[in-house]
A and B are shown apart, each in its own frame.
Chain A
């Protein structure tokens, strides 16, 4: 195509301001139409998941190799630690057996129906957020594996976060440490409800605690089940410090996430997209004339 020189020069001169304007506009107004971006994002993540998986392979093998060397170095110390831990666990096993039988008797008394996990699926982390202000990971399971929005992601140690975005074969987990993560929790033993708010630091804050509540370092924090997104009692962490702000040390090591388990407790407390005020789906539903 032949374009006259002045026209081409004008187009070239305008490209930069236009692109800068578009990106600034997107960045500022992006929150206005979250759903559209979510859809594009999910599509892109689904499409690029195989690429990211393959690209991650060599890194995984290198880190595995490093892991093997580390293991050999630390095996003696670990063995000693494990023996001590084993002793302690055997004692706990006794306690647990006793409690279990006691629990069963009590359950028979009240005909209690346990609300356990319906199913769970193991997922591998295929992408880190790679940003200083983001705490999320992309995992390699999605809708086709039975994952749904709002489901909790756990490691063996405790809660990690929840599913916020869902594709057919990918899901994005918002970690508890992200500034947009707010989880209803309870301080075990006090029955005192509070919120666990991430602020992008390693230890999320415990907020909305009643002033008179005696919270002290070492107190266990578990999910409260309020809101119906998480079941009550999922282990979250322990209170690390109470000076000024109450901070919680998480059980799960979010710094080295490789595998997580996404658990389906059969809860549907998470709001459907149509219930988000101002979202396209909601507008379409409430205003059929459009």
Chain B
């Protein structure tokens, strides 16, 4: 997948696509899916969006949007630690950006494996942070499940984002 020839011809609407989809994905993880216990292991769609766009179009996903998405998630999910998701997403963006070459023009499986690593890192960080702040060894079970569910849902999220990505040239016409 190479979009480089379109790089600088995207119009305003098309340039908004990565940011908008990231915010939409963030809201998606809050919806009640009516699957038993889903709330506590819901995949982090925001993580998928930030990962996807950082690999493919980091120039169109400004840091401010990443920060806002994390803040929105924290404010809406009722966590006592407003800012934690923002911190995690910013760190993920920084980390992935530095390793971007590893993912470019590689098969999807490499990308998926990379995402699994990122998800593990993100959830271990969250788990350690919450355990530390609560001064209580949090049961790691739901963190493990959330990591697995998030990684397992990545192909779906990535597919949807790729559709949006492909629609970008049409949107700028």
Interface on A for B, CB 8 Å cutoff? 15-16, 19-20, 22-28, 30-31, 34, 37, 40-41, 44-45, 48, 51-52, 55-56, 59-60, 63, 125-138, 164-165, 172, 179-180, 199-202, 253, 255-258
Contact = CB atoms under 8 A, between A and B. Distances in A.
A98 B40 CA distance: 44
A25 B44 CA distance: 23
Contacts, number: 164
22 contacts: A15-B64, A16-B90, A19-B67, A20-B87, A23-B70, A23-B86, A24-B87, A27-B129, A37-B75, A41-B75, A48-B27, A55-B31, A63-B34, A127-B30, A127-B31, A129-B78, A131-B42, A132-B40, A132-B145, A133-B142, A172-B78, A200-B138
A90 B24 CA distance: 52
B143 A16 contact: no
Contacts of B107: none
A258 B90 CA distance: 33
Contact of A179 (B34, B38, B84, B134): B134
Contacts of B136: 179, 199
Contact of B39 (A23, A37, A130): A130
Task: Provide the main secondary structure of the chain B interface.
Answer: helix
Given A27-B81, A30-B80, A137-B39, 13 more contacts: A16-B90, A16-B94, A19-B64, A19-B67, A19-B86, A26-B71, A44-B72, A127-B32, A128-B42, A133-B127, A133-B138, A179-B136, A200-B40
Given A59-B32, A133-B126, A200-B142, A24 B80 contact: no
Interface of B: 27-42, 44, 63-64, 66-67, 70-73, 75-84, 86-87, 90-91, 94, 123, 126-127, 129-130, 133-134, 136, 138-139, 141-143, 145-146
A126 B37 CA distance: 15
B27 A59 contact: no
Given A19-B63, A23-B70, A129-B78, A135 B84 contact: no
The 3 closest A-B pairs by CB, nearest first: A26-B83, A128-B39, A27-B83
B76 A127 contact: yes
Nearest to B29: A130
